[in-house]
Structure 1
Amino acid sequence: MLRIKDPKKSRTFYEKQLGMQFLTRFDFPSLAFSLYFYASTEQKIPNDHLSQAETAKWLWNVQCPTLELTYNWGTEKDSEFHYHNGNEDPKGFVHVTFVVNDVKETVEELQSQGVPVIQHPSHSEIGKCAYVSDPDGYWIQLVSGERKTGYLYSNTKSVDDVKSSPVLAETMLRIKDPAVSKEFYEKGLGMNFLGHLEIPSSRSTVYYYGYANSSSNEIYSMINKFKTYQWTIPRMALQYLWDSESDSFLSYHNGNSEPKGFGHIGLTVDDIYGACYRIQKAGYKIIRKPGPFQDVGEIAFVSDPDGYWIELIQRSSLRSPKSAL
């Protein structure tokens, strides 16, 4: 989730310029904010006659990565107001990544429409990539790559449509200690380790995690042929600067204290009460205990070792608690 200042400008960028599909909007008048959801998908969008609660049940079962934008009402009226992109001090969030067929053509088209280019296309350890800025200054990484069919992308647009509709593939966060993060994401959240990429020029390593809908042999194959399979599964990328775990003064900014910007990673689960029970039993912090939120279902928030918020969302209809926290 990213906080945005002006939903009209953000919608122009993500929907009209970047080519994502608008899924739905949730409004919370008592709290004076709205949520906007985008994805690259051909799944049927509910009609406007559904209630917000019914739409939420549909949304939490969408089988593709979605981008959530939070708009706090009235911020667009304040000329001095802005959000923190995470790439200036205090650092934390890095970028979201979209896969496109041709980075150069995509950047040229976006630039012709007035989108700021942070870094023009160049070759890197992950292939050809570039960076542009969204209206709030968040970094958007564009990479060239053939998106494989299957896994969680099975319901997204065909590979031939990637050029006109970039596919959300990755969210990158900075981490202090990869061993501690590994314990949380693998054992706490049950993610699969998908591979890592060492970048000696910046003295850093990027670790990749996601939910692989495959056998252990296939996951092993992905790790050993990482560049071939790197865009197969939507994933989290954790950027580690070498020896940072030895710096007792270093900490990363989670975006939920001032200056605000990045909000959280959202995951849908089958049993939110059981998931929170296991996470808490493993020694991790529960920020918000599971329970109903307004009319959109049951949610909870947990914290990863660097303080980033992870939202857990009950995938199906409301359930009764199975485990007390």
Structure 2
Amino acid sequence: MATTTDTKNYKFNHSMLRVKDPKASVKFYEFLGMSLIKHLQFPEAKFDLYFLAYDSPNALSSGNSTFDREGVIELTHNYGTENDDNYTVNNGNKEPHRGFGHVCISVDNIQAACNRIEQAGYKFQKKLTDGRMKHIAFALDPDGYWVEIVSLKIGTKGADDPNEPSDPSATDPKSYRMNHTMIRVKDAQKSLEFYQDKMGMTLFRTVEQEAAGFNLYFLGYPGEKGVPENGFTADYEGLLELTWNYGTEKDENFKYHDGNSQPQGFGHICVSVDNIDAACQRFETLNVNWKKRLTDGRMKNVAFVLDPDGYWVEIVQNERFAGKANF
């Protein structure tokens, strides 16, 4: 394993969500075409981790080890919540606990995909026909987390063709991508600086919605796929979407919920690196704020840095560079 670190090797590996009932949640994400690629059990600490990703032969990270991927969803289950009638998660979209917004999948046929989800009995926060934006939908997972649905053909001819077949059989979930994770940020410039200069991400696309008073910033690691041409990002996996509502940076008392304070829900995003020791030394020289250094606590193979809003960013070893599994 190399003794230095290069951000060109970094990957936006996963996004962690706490769930009440892992059976129901795993079933939902498998219904969206994902595969359970790793299940870690920690009975002494009374929690399990479920890692799901697109893993068909056509998937971008097909066959890779768990931490040598992008677009992974990690579900965390704390034992007993499934039997607690009073337990609910914070989905990040309800006041006063807004922060995390959603995960997003991109699909081959958005009309058929949405009909398939609806016919399976899952609920929607927003259907394609709701509101002014007819090209996106938001499904609800079993815990009420929002799952945005966009077209893999968005921005191309025929992307939103209402004549596309809507029969559920006209969509192939194995062709989907886990495209991005959205978090709201207070100060766009501070967050962009953190994710670009400290985490080594590249700004792929900016969407300015001046009339609505917000901007969207899509960041990622170019990797072998490179920076998208013409801002077309729907066919990528593992992007980070920052949502900035104008004026929040001017309010000293304004703060987003990080998901780890009560009430809990979203936990963290995770970046896998080529050499975790060298990467953490680099972060030290950049004066990041730490939640957990490698040397803290019992788990000596993971670290957590804090972004400007206090969201946790886990740092793990990419197993391809280490030549061995992390767990």
Short-chain TM bin:
0.7 to 0.9
Matches of 1:108 and 1:162 in 2, distance apart?
Answer: 10
Would you say 1:260 and 2:269 are equivalent positions? no
Of 17, 20, 35, the residue aligned with 1:21 is 35
With a CA cutoff of 8 Å and minimum separation of 6, indicate the structure with the bigger relative contact order.
2
Give the 4+ runs in structure 1 shifted more than 4 A. 122-127, 291-295
CA distance in 2, matches of 1:303, 1:30: 27
Percent of pairs with identical residues? 33
- Rounded Cα–Cα distance in structure 2 between residues aligned with 1:18 and 1:69: 15
> Number of matched residues?
287
Contact 2:108 2:153 in 1 (8 A): yes
Out of 107, 110, 117, the position equivalent to 1:100 is 107
Spell out, residue by residue over 1:11-34, the C-alpha distance to the aligned partner (whole angstroms, 9 max, x if none): 22111x212111120000110000
Q: Given that residues 50 and 75 in structure 2 are in contact (C-alpha distance below 8 angstroms), is that contact kept between their aligned partners in structure 1?
A: yes
Q: What are the ranges of 5 or more consecutive residues in structure 1 without an aligned counterpart?
A: 44-56, 148-160, 320-325
What is the Cα deviation at residue 291 of structure 1?
5.0
C-alpha contact (below 8 Å) 2:72/2:238 kept by paired residues:
no
Question: Contact between 1:212 and 1:233, CA under 8 Å: does it hold in 2?
Answer: no
| Structure 1 Cα separation of the partners of residues 267 and 314 of structure 2 | 10
Matched, 1:86 2:92: yes
Q: What's the counterpart of residue 239 of structure 2?
A: 235
1:87-166 pair list within 5 angstroms? 87-89=93-95, 90-122=97-129, 128-146=135-153, 163-165=172-174, 166=176
CA distance 1:287–1:273, change in 2 (3 Å): same
Q: Do residues 196 (structure 1) and 206 (structure 2) align?
A: yes
2:244 pairs with 1:278: no
Give the TM-score normalised by structure 2.
0.80
Identify the range of structure 1 (303-312 vs 106-115) with the bigger mean alpha-carbon deviation.
Answer: 106-115
Q: Deviations over 1:51-105 (max 9, x none)?
A: xxxxxx93223x3421100000111010111100000021100000000112221
> Higher helix share goes to which structure?
1
Partners in 2 of 1:262 and 1:64 — Cα distance?
Answer: 18
TM-aligned CA deviation for residue 252 of structure 1? 0.5
1:76 aligns with 2:82: yes
Secondary structure at 2:128's aligned position in 1? strand
Kindly indicate whether residue 45 of structure 2 is the aligned counterpart of residue 31 of structure 1. Answer: yes
Change (3 A) 1:318 1:20: closer
- Note the C-alpha offset of 1:230: 4.4
TM-score w.r.t. length of structure 1: 0.81
RMSD of the TM alignment (CA)? 2.9
